[in-house]
Structure 1
């Protein structure tokens, strides 16, 4: 909460309140003295130091790589260990000097060297060619570094390695879910919650996407339509984020808010994909198997339930509409097969209503990312409907015109029903 932007806004407000006579000068001084000191940010010297450190590290690695075959195996191993020790030692020294950014960078470099060490040791001693297993080992080591140092960079390295690991395991065994990654992701989410870090929350939210994408693209698994599978993943991420943010804890609020933002944007992207990948523009699914496995449907239902439960806790009307938006986006999946002989008008209407509900939800709750996601979703759905290959373009123009008339009529009714101050 006490970041640089907030402090600048608070300082401007205090000056204005003091000038207007709202608060006494002594009260303003007391408020300023009660605030904790700002953590040192990234200044020019720090940026130049980071670039210099990266250049030195790159030069060292290039020199070692150029003479790698001439160096004895034991010495190679010693170089790798020394690199990790030096990175850890410098990180500890920077941490003692309260240079947290440089300390984090050193921990990250140490995690990267650890991954390079796994690959090079495997190459030197001709170990088994299990690349995915090596990625798992790298992820474990980077997670250990993140736990010991609270390094966001090390956490990023761990999540990248874990995402590569789960994608490779999913490719190797497409007929089974790769659930071990879920445990890894939950561990990362617990770290983000414990650290109360927005950066870590963003990393955790991004890391959830590759698993769902890799899972949705497993064509051998029930012939599932990827966009429908992704819709349920976005629903779960969105609903779970809202539910976590509703918990009475600032840590949960920060983590849940970030997760819900990524869930909202994912839902908007999925709405666009549902139109473009199901309606003959890009067709993935060729079989006659169900478009959604049961576990996927349950994940989507859980997202809707969590969003509505959050609305019941917070008493926010916007979150009720968020739950409706999730439900409408999921409803498009069963509506599509109903219109196999013609055009899926009801599915189009459901997606448009879902994105409109997302925009209104963000406006009611004053959540700008949710508003942006909704508008992007509306634009994507309209573009997909307009340029779809299947069906008559004249009928599509009539449908869009009718939808516009309904939207204008709805806006007119709202304008009359709502008080002037709440419009």
Structure 2
């Protein structure tokens, strides 16, 4: 691309082509270069970067006891610096490779922070390490303007706040209740990012993928976050003032971001904030897995996701709502119905649910997707 720019400049100075034509040629060639990076190449670069980071960390871990403190610290610094220096050298020729190596350098920064703390026997406060890691990712985004740096910062900042909360409330029960609710609401916010906008499109897609992968595990985390019926029953309740602060930290930031970004469209985020809050209340029941209200509320959440998908013309929401509804039905069957039936009857009933229920659910899902496509184009 650099050679092409030089040639175009020479041709423009020689008046063989005008500047507008040179700009169009450069734009066409850059788009053609971008089209060369298909999914196989993207996967190769992504997994190659991941394995490179894992290999370096494994090598250091295997020889850690053999290294002197000075050598350890030098290895920590080199691990971060080499990735960024290599990225700077390759960025102009292979931009995707440069982005991947800068990402590897920022990921290695997290390991370097904790290794440095171990080397110098610093005071143990693990959320502080995550804060420094998030700060490094934020600085990386400000300097490089690369979407993986912003994505890392968006993931690390909530985990830093969750870690601070867990340490501050470790002597009380249900320590993870509010962090899991806040992370679930944040996953819904990530899931609702708008991929059709060109501004920061790759970052938006990264947030959507993060929300997709985290949504259902975080629903389970909310349901399992109350430890009041295990060892937590011997702990005291969280003080009211601290509880209010936790609710503010868990719910307000995602809602403020949604309101600033979407204004009237943010009403769905407020609806799901209420859904998450009620789900957290239900999870405090000692036998909530046997409570019919839990499955009813999960079905309400699945219905709300589908309704949001129809309203926003988002096929992804409809698919996730359908999946959540199917998981809810199966969970209710195993928790409340199967043990009341014989083995043969239970298996027959389960087969009917899978065949008939799956067919009906898929038909409803395809009808909703078709409706959104007619209304405004499903995304």
TM-score bucket (shorter structure): 0.5 to 0.7
Deviations 1:275-300 (A, max 9, x none): 456599x9674346447933331133
CA contact (8 A) 1:205 1:258 kept: no
Q: Report the 3-state secondary structure (helix = DSSP H, G, I; strand = E; otherwise coil) of the residue aligned with 1:222.
A: coil
* Structure 2 counterpart of 1:269: 217
The aligned counterpart of 2:134 is: 185
TM-aligned CA distance change 1:156 to 1:211, over 3 Å: same
1:154 aligns to 2:112 (yes or no): no
Distance 1:339 1:92 in 2: 52
User: What is the correspondence of 1:29-44 to structure 2 with a 5 Å cutoff?
Assistant: 34-35=27-28, 37=30, 38=33, 41=37
Is 1:331 equivalent to 2:278 in the alignment? yes
Is residue 93 of structure 2 the alignment partner of residue 98 of structure 1? yes
Does the residue aligned with 2:233 lie in a helix, a strand or coil?
A: coil
- Cα RMSD (Å): 6.0
Could you tell me which residue of structure 2 aligns to residue 300 of structure 1?
250
Normalising to structure 2: TM-score of the pair? 0.54
User: Which residue is 2:346 aligned to?
Assistant: none
Q: Specify every segment of 5 or more residues in structure 2 that has no aligned partner in the other structure, as ranges.
A: 1-22, 342-348
Q: CA deviation at 1:356?
A: 2.9
State yes or no: 1:422 paired with 2:375.
Answer: yes
SS state at 1:232 partner: helix
Question: Are 2:148 and 1:199 aligned?
Answer: yes
> Deviation string for 1:16-44 (max 9, x for gaps)?
xxxxxxxxxxxxxx977644512575869
2:308 to 355, 361, 374: 361
Q: Is the 8 A contact 2:178 2:250 kept in 1?
A: no
Shift of 1:302: 1.1
Instruction: Give aligned pairs, total.
Output: 310
Taking the aligned partners of 1:91 and 1:419, their CA distance within structure 2 comes to 46
Unpaired runs of 5+ residues, structure 1, are: 1-29, 109-150
Matches within 5 A, 1:237-248: 238-239=188-189
Deviation at 1:211, TM superposition (A): 4.3
Give the direction of change, closer, same or farther, for the CA distance of 1:217–1:257 in structure 2 (3 Å limit): same
In 2, distance between residues paired with 1:205 and 1:294? 24
| Local SS of the residue matching 2:93 | coil
> Are the equivalent residues in 1 in contact too, given 2:128–2:160 (CA < 8 A)?
no
Question: Which residue of 2 is the match for residue 18 of structure 1?
Answer: none
Using a 3 Å threshold, how does the CA distance of structure 1 residues 347 and 359 change in structure 2: closer, same or farther? same
User: Within 2, Cα distance between the matches of 1:380 and 1:241?
Assistant: 19
Q: Distance in 1 between matches of 2:198 and 2:176?
A: 36
Q: 1:88 to 1:278 in 2, by over 3 A?
A: closer
Paired with 1:275 and 1:383, the residues of 2 have a C-alpha distance of 16
